[in-house]
Structure 1
Amino acid sequence: MLDLSSSSSMPRSAAAAVKTYSPFVGFCFIINYIVGTGFLGIPYVFWNTGVIAGVATLVVISMAIAIPAIWTLEVMARAQAIDDVDSSRVQADSEMKAVFRIETDRHFEVSELCRIFLGRVGGAVYLVLILIYLFIGQWLTGPVAGTAWSSNLPLNFGTFRQCSQADFNGVLHPSDGCWNSYALCILFFAIIVVPLSCLDLKEQEIVQVTLSITRFVVITSIIIYSIVAEVKGYKGHESVDPPPNSTVKEHVLGFKMNGFLATLPVVIYAQMLHVAIPSLVQPINDKRHLGRLFWLIFATTSVIYGVLGVTAAVYLKYSVNEQCTLNWADTTSSGHSMLLRVYSYFVVIFPSLDVLSAYPLGAIIMANMVEYLFTGNPRVQSGRFFVTVNRFVWATLPLICSVYLSDLVELDKFAGLPAFCAAFIFPAFLQWRSVKMCQNRFGTSITPYTSRWVSGFGVVGVVFAFGVVITIATFVSFFLPHSLA
């Protein structure tokens, strides 16, 4: 067999040159990437699916989406073994075993993994689908910041006017003075996130950890607020009369297929990270327990989403907004205590602050994929100038688009289709092909992340079928009414 041990294949100088961080910092980076703006719609779809049914859907989806994430780690380790042989980093020795691992000085984007195990066509198809998904995902963050800031900042001077939520309903972009304020807020957002996108992940360590802690604090405060307000019967938010023949019990214990079909893309989008896994795990200095780290991450996000969805949905009931934080705009007006008004402003503005941490990660991942597309060789080390310009371009273009198009409801739906391919279908193909290739080439395919519970071909088939079914179900939901009430 072949000796693929890390000690013989990674030069100390190369390893030392790579900036790394601890598993805890890696946990914060990955949580920041997952818990972006996806959680905003959880209470809304829970209420309109059935709260208990929504929790069950979240649990099933989270387990289904965690398994392909573990497969991605396995595939990266197998690709490293193949790369060691093909690049002649190790010498053949029939008496030594193959050792699969993820190195710090070698970066595999998922598009490259597809090219290795699925061929050029597979890699090209994946790259196109994911670039579309990532670009639309980045595009969506612009309106999140622009809408929140232009609606809450007193921009009333010259040709500028403070916006209201009505300015953004059913239009491509706001008009007149509101559009000027909206565009100015997008510019403010760009001034913050574009420079961050040009930095390496290690250089963002303090920012990412701080925003991760802030995110947990805000989400926890919304949960506590909803519980206390529901127990005390506080009705500070605008109430909406229930539809005829609709009861709270029905929304908590019942099940609505229309809402369920809308829940699938929302929950999957909220847990989606597969395309970012190589970029996020490469700098982690201790990769021995990455599998456990990912299970912990998905368990953490599932608990956060579940508790938030249940408490906010039960408290807000029929008035729950598609973006749940907008419900706190009702308590920013005079007539409420100053403390409540300050808190409510912070909750409303929070999503735009939240994407400050996720946006640079998305821009870096897009730039890495485009760099691989142009170089075609992962061993080509681009200069710092090219890397910076590449990241600048892909951090700027989505924000320019968001200035001229802020109504992205339908685009968000279509962005889900390539996301399902990235989360379920392509990982299943990669797992199957990488196992077959390594067994044929090395006589084994077992990596440090392989588990008999999730790595077998039976599980691969189930997840693949699951991905196909929910893709079809989501396509069907395109033809259903947008409102679930």
Structure 2
Amino acid sequence: MPNRSAQEEYPTWIGFVFVFNLIVGTGALTLPSAFSHAGWLLGTIVIVVLAFVSYVTVTFVIETMACANAILNWRRLHFIKRDRVIEQDEDSNVETIREPLLVRESSTLDDQLTEAGIEQTPLNIMYCRNQYYSLSTKIEMGEMANLFFGRIGNYLFYFCLAVYLYGDLSIYSAAVAKSLRDVICAHNHSANATDSDDITNRCWENSVLSRFDVYRLCLVVFLGILGPFVFFNVQKTKYLQLVTVLFRWLAFSVMISIAIHRLFAEQPDPPIVPKRADINGIPYLFGTCIYSFMCHHSLPSLLTPIENKRRVKSLISLDYLLICAFYLSLALTGIFAFNEIKDLYTLNFVPNSNQDSGFLKAIEYFLALFPVFTLSTSFPIIAITLRSNLQTLFLDTTQLDSYNFFLRRVFFPLLAILPSITVCFFTESVISLVGFTGCYAGTGIQYLIPVFLVLYARRTCESIIGRGIINDFHSPFRGNLWLVLILSWASACLVLVTIDLMK
């Protein structure tokens, strides 16, 4: 067993903040636009359903984490059994063999306690359960895939994760460059301008540069500043996450407040009447919502350090309830307050040259540059994560130093960032990038992988550890019917979005 360094633990409320911070990101900024395509009533139903489905698969990941810990604990105890400790009986010179309690497939926990001569008290039963199923060791999803899937499944997992991270980098790059461009060209910004207009519209009066040209220049500058970080190692700290979540709470609260103010203080003529339901807008919303509720790939890093692991289920439930309500507040206030929702919601708050108040102008600049502040801090980390996963997919990471310098330190860092930047160089549609990433790679990570992980994890634990010891971290959705429903839902999402893209 490899040695795993002890992690700094933190209180449950810190874990709650971290999960919230992880989920509420770029997807939330594109949600109002996708919501407006589907209509306020149909959009509300879809968001609630997708939030519930995402929550179900999160519980699958948590159960799989506990199963993986159980397998590792069983192997550790089995190793101790092979190297059994022999104590010499001083009186009879008889060797006494002390072995850990191991559970056979056909036995129950009561049988094992009886055979070991242990009284069947609630305390003893709980001890034996905790001896296996826990969240004490951080086991990433890639390690779980390797543990339960085998070689082919492991490669498929890393491939799906790499596609998702490529999408993440594309979304971050486009969002930052587009936000910078709109601030630079703010005084020549038309409220009715579309992405296609940006190719011909001038950024400044009598300028040879179009808005799309300035977008590309901002993209190059962004790559030049943050791209080199992919060649090194950068790690997030909890303090950076706390600062980021404060920025997000402030920005989203201000956007919701401004939208509410527009609803009650400013009465447009004619009044804004958003559509109630449009079935054609569902594919847009599917991909965006899947992306907006994504946290599965980072759960091991966030949940393992929590001090009170028994409150993990309550923490996740409360997080999803709050985030669902938060998303609905953001989307509903947005579509009733604005005639048109930009694909990046912060672009609806682009600084107005007619604004006289210095305070309000500062607020507008803060909102317009909000994606630049928050996404720029995450870009190097996502790029480094992608680089590491690409190396895992194509190289033998146990012998990484045996490969030449160019392959390790130049080729894979470039392979991590250049494809995403190339895609963004030809499109600035953030909502299209979010929809594609969320639907295809997001469906794999959020729906398919958790379903198959928990299915194989349950089978593996039953065959190795037995059915006598109960996993206290098991999902409340334990029946196979839930697995079938999630797979059916994932298939429906993929079919609908694919049909829409083929139109």
Which of 375, 393, 408 is the aligned partner of 1:355?
375
Q: State whether residues 367 and 390 of structure 1, in contact with CA within 8 Å, keep that contact through their aligned partners in structure 2.
A: no
Aligned to 2:40: 51
Aligned to 1:436: 459
Report the residue type matching 2:249 in the other structure: F
Report the residue type matching 1:425 in the other structure: L
Task: Give CA deviations for 1:241-268 in whole Å, capped at 9, x if unaligned.
Answer: 89xxxx82x72xx321001232111111
Report the residue type matching 1:144 in the other structure: A
Aligned to 1:339: 359
Q: Does 2:15 align with 1:26?
A: yes
CA distance in 1, matches of 2:400, 2:315: 30
Taking a change above 3 Å as real, the CA distance of residues 228 and 410 of structure 1, as seen in their structure-2 partners, is closer
Aligned to 2:248: 215
How many residue pairs get matched?
444
Task: Give CA deviations for 1:112-143 in whole Å, capped at 9, x if unaligned.
Answer: 32232222111111211221121122122112
Moved more, 226-235 or 433-442: 226-235
SS where residue 474 of structure 2 aligns?
Answer: coil
Q: State whether residues 194 and 396 of structure 1, in contact with CA within 8 Å, keep that contact through their aligned partners in structure 2.
A: no
Aligned to 2:386: 366
Report the residue type matching 2:56 in the other structure: I
Which of 325, 344, 347 is the aligned partner of 1:323?
344
Aligned to 1:421: 444
Q: How does 1:119-268 map to 2 (within 5 A)?
A: 119-153=150-184, 169=196, 177=209, 179=213, 182-184=216-218, 186-188=220-222, 191=225, 195=229, 198-201=233-236, 204-233=237-266, 235=268, 248=273, 251=275, 254-268=276-290
Aligned to 1:292: 314
SS where residue 319 of structure 1 aligns?
Answer: coil
CA distance in 2, matches of 1:392, 1:139: 15
Q: State whether residues 313 and 320 of structure 1, in contact with CA within 8 Å, keep that contact through their aligned partners in structure 2.
A: yes
Q: State whether residues 424 and 467 of structure 1, in contact with CA within 8 Å, keep that contact through their aligned partners in structure 2.
A: yes
CA distance in 2, matches of 1:429, 1:303: 29
Report the residue type matching 1:113 in the other structure: M
SS where residue 65 of structure 2 aligns?
Answer: helix
Report the residue type matching 2:480 in the other structure: F
Taking a change above 3 Å as real, the CA distance of residues 299 and 334 of structure 1, as seen in their structure-2 partners, is same
Q: State whether residues 349 and 368 of structure 2, in contact with CA within 8 Å, keep that contact through their aligned partners in structure 1.
A: yes
CA shift for structure 1 position 351: 2.0
Q: State whether residues 62 and 298 of structure 1, in contact with CA within 8 Å, keep that contact through their aligned partners in structure 2.
A: yes
CA shift for structure 1 position 393: 5.8
SS where residue 25 of structure 2 aligns?
Answer: coil
CA distance in 1, matches of 2:369, 2:353: 15
CA distance in 1, matches of 2:253, 2:395: 45
Taking a change above 3 Å as real, the CA distance of residues 261 and 10 of structure 1, as seen in their structure-2 partners, is closer
Q: State whether residues 159 and 393 of structure 2, in contact with CA within 8 Å, keep that contact through their aligned partners in structure 1.
A: no
Q: State whether residues 372 and 378 of structure 1, in contact with CA within 8 Å, keep that contact through their aligned partners in structure 2.
A: no
CA distance in 1, matches of 2:195, 2:227: 23
Aligned to 1:93: 101
Q: Does 2:85 align with 1:62?
A: no
Q: State whether residues 413 and 478 of structure 1, in contact with CA within 8 Å, keep that contact through their aligned partners in structure 2.
A: no
CA shift for structure 1 position 75: 0.7
CA shift for structure 1 position 389: 8.6
Taking a change above 3 Å as real, the CA distance of residues 173 and 358 of structure 1, as seen in their structure-2 partners, is farther
Task: Give CA deviations for 1:177-210 in whole Å, capped at 9, x if unaligned.
Answer: 5646743565357636865983333xx2222111
CA shift for structure 1 position 67: 1.1
Q: State whether residues 332 and 340 of structure 1, in contact with CA within 8 Å, keep that contact through their aligned partners in structure 2.
A: no
Report the residue type matching 1:279 in the other structure: S
SS where residue 221 of structure 1 aligns?
Answer: helix
Report the residue type matching 1:270 in the other structure: S
Aligned to 1:42: 31
Q: State whether residues 68 and 424 of structure 1, in contact with CA within 8 Å, keep that contact through their aligned partners in structure 2.
A: yes
Q: State whether residues 69 and 136 of structure 2, in contact with CA within 8 Å, keep that contact through their aligned partners in structure 1.
A: yes
CA distance in 1, matches of 2:194, 2:46: 34
Unaligned runs of 5+ in 1: 1-8, 157-161, 481-485
Taking a change above 3 Å as real, the CA distance of residues 118 and 167 of structure 1, as seen in their structure-2 partners, is same
CA distance in 2, matches of 1:171, 1:154: 11
Report the residue type matching 1:447 in the other structure: N
CA distance in 2, matches of 1:67, 1:144: 30
CA distance in 1, matches of 2:29, 2:186: 26
CA shift for structure 1 position 283: 4.1
Q: How does 1:401-480 map to 2 (within 5 A)?
A: 401=422, 404-407=425-428, 410-415=432-437, 416-444=439-467, 446-451=470-475, 453-480=476-503
Q: State whether residues 417 and 471 of structure 1, in contact with CA within 8 Å, keep that contact through their aligned partners in structure 2.
A: yes
Report the residue type matching 2:69 in the other structure: Q
Taking a change above 3 Å as real, the CA distance of residues 173 and 395 of structure 1, as seen in their structure-2 partners, is farther
Q: State whether residues 111 and 126 of structure 1, in contact with CA within 8 Å, keep that contact through their aligned partners in structure 2.
A: yes
